[in-house]
Amino acid sequence: MSIQIQILSSLEKCFMDETLEQKPILSSASCLRGEDFHFTLAFVADDIATSTLANPTVLVCRSDLDVSFERVENVPVRYPCYPTRTDAYYLRKAPGLYPDLLMPMAVGDPVLVSRGLLLSIYATVHVPENTKAGDYTITVGLADEESGAETVRELKLHVVDAVLPKQELLVAQWIHYDCIADAHELEIFSEAHWDAMETYLKMAVDHGINTILTPVFTPPLDTAIGGERPTVQLVDVEKTENGYRFGFEKLHRFVALCEKLGVERFEISHLFTQWGAYHAPKVMATVDGEYRRIFGWDTDAASDEYVAFLRAFLVELIAEMKKLGIDDRMLFHISDEPKKEQMEQYQLVKSKIADILEGYPIYDALSDFDFYETGAVDHPIPASDHIEPFLDANIENLWTYYCCGQWRHVSNRFIAMSLARERIIGAQFWKYHIAGFLHWGYNFWYTRYSKRQINPYVITDGDAFAPAGDAFSVYPAPNCQAYRSLRLVVFHEALCDLAALKLAEERCGRDAVLALVDAKGDMTFSSYPHDAAFILNLRENINRMIEEA
């Protein structure tokens, strides 16, 4: 058996029709203590059809460090990009099978090896804070289980004697709790659903998502006008002759779960509908013993009845969060992605509750600078391709976001984009003092407007709703678990880059770090080096700067 293997960086996607010779080899690298380091093991056979279970090829690894592995699986991508809206920096623009899904495996597990097909395994080297600094060798490869013959390569990993600082950037990526229930066929808020929610929340927090969408009511997001999503309302409501009675038991449980997992902030779900704030979110209540919807698309957002309800609710919610000691960790939203022509409506509904929310930050994703300039929004979250006027205004604690609309020039996480294009955003966050980042799709497994459920293993584009990968970063796995994607892990690498850049700035000064970040010209959100070598070399130079300081 003849197998070619190489160790590559974590930024290499191996398409099955590529050759190993096209890929740059990784022989040495460095990381900080308290950081996971990733690399790719790529392989192809040149004289066998496949390995068989009767005489399998197996994964082998030897190291003093803890290394875990995942198979890189290819997923169907039929809609890699908008047909007429792209730039030169997509890996491919044609439908096909693209590497993205990560499925756990262990040393000794059989590995499919196929002649002429370039396949890969993703490795994660766990480097706890108490790891001794110095040089380590990781020997990894494939072996014939029957003969014991091995084909291996070595990676030299240098652990720098410095601990990666705690992440300061607030990162929100919306978890869709109804999608979890549907994908795993669970009753919402059953014990099994709570267990599944914990799994998805833990994976999110482990990958730097520290600001969690909290569905006090079913979030009015990506819902067809007049349509409904499954109810995931954490606050119980009872309508009485004297007004409303609220029950916070499920919210208490949710907060306790999040705090156990290390959540930093709680994003209270939007108080009005998306794209204009014209209506109320879906609110369920018990009325005369019947559980039914009392507000929704048929409710004028500024109506006396809804405003009275919302004011009563917010007063009690804030009081409840104060009891829990987390009211200073709440973020509020009015409406997602309002347009300039909807600003009057946005200001109207906001004015109805502004006095109650005084002192609490209100953030909303939008792109028109007029919302900030007029005072309609104090904490805008501009899209990354519309961020320049917001940067020019020197807004403190500025956030940014991207979604399906950010398809040209800027960083994003479409499956058809390179992983280097995704990871560069860490350096951009650092350079422009970004305080928070928002992405809408941690696990959106519905079609556009949530009209029906989709299988993300088959449909990666929300049924041609958006370029493949925009809507989710994780896959539902058996037993109410979740699988990672390459994109989830690489975005976390970007966050680690950000933390390392901040540490280097602290030790060596901003100018020294900026000289490295801008080594190939003035880096902006839309203009930056696109090659993987730049970001890998930048991180190596930052690690060296930290160590020498």
What digits encode the pLDDT tens for the residues 90-128?
Answer: 999 999 999 999 999 999 999 999 889 999 999 999 999
CB of 302 within 8 A of CB of 334?
Answer: no
Q: What is the pLDDT of residue 51?
A: 46
Q: For residue 86, give both structure tokens.
A: 């792209």
Q: What is the pLDDT of residue 55?
A: 62
What is the amino acid identity at position 432?
Answer: Y
- Strand ranges (DSSP E) for 78-189? 96-105, 119-127, 134-144, 150-163, 170-173
Dist CA 549 CA 544 (whole Å): 8
CB of 327 within 8 A of CB of 251?
Answer: no
What digits encode the pLDDT tens for the residues 179-211?
Answer: 999 999 999 999 999 999 999 999 999 999 999
- Strand ranges (DSSP E) for 296-362? 330-331
CB of 420 within 8 A of CB of 490?
Answer: no
DSSP for 466-483, written as a single string: SSTTTTBSEEEEGGGEEE
CB of 63 within 8 A of CB of 131?
Answer: no
Q: Which fold, 3-164?
A: Immunoglobulin-like (2.60.40)
Strand partners, 424: none
Q: For residue 466, give both structure tokens.
A: 């958006």
- Distance, C-alpha 542 to centroid of its chain: 24
109: helix, strand or coil: coil
Dist CA 398 CA 40 (whole Å): 35
Alpha helices in 335-396 (DSSP H): 343-351, 370-373, 388-392
544: helix, strand or coil: helix
Would you kindly state where each structural domain of the chain is located, as residue ranges? 3-164, 210-369
Provide the residue-wise pLDDT of the chain in tens; the chain has 549 residues. 589 999 999 999 999 999 999 999 999 999 999 999 999 999 999 865 444 445 689 999 999 999 999 999 999 999 999 999 999 999 999 999 999 999 999 999 999 998 899 999 999 999 999 999 999 999 999 999 888 899 999 999 999 999 999 999 999 999 999 999 999 999 999 999 999 999 999 999 999 999 999 999 999 999 999 999 999 999 999 999 999 999 999 999 999 999 999 999 999 999 999 999 999 999 999 999 999 999 999 999 999 999 999 999 999 999 999 999 999 999 999 999 999 999 999 999 999 999 999 999 999 999 999 999 999 999 999 999 999 999 999 999 999 999 999 999 999 999 999 999 999 999 999 999 999 999 999 999 999 999 999 999 999 999 999 999 999 999 999 999 999 999 999 999 999 999 999 999 999 999 999 999 999 999 999 999 999 999 999 999 999 999 999
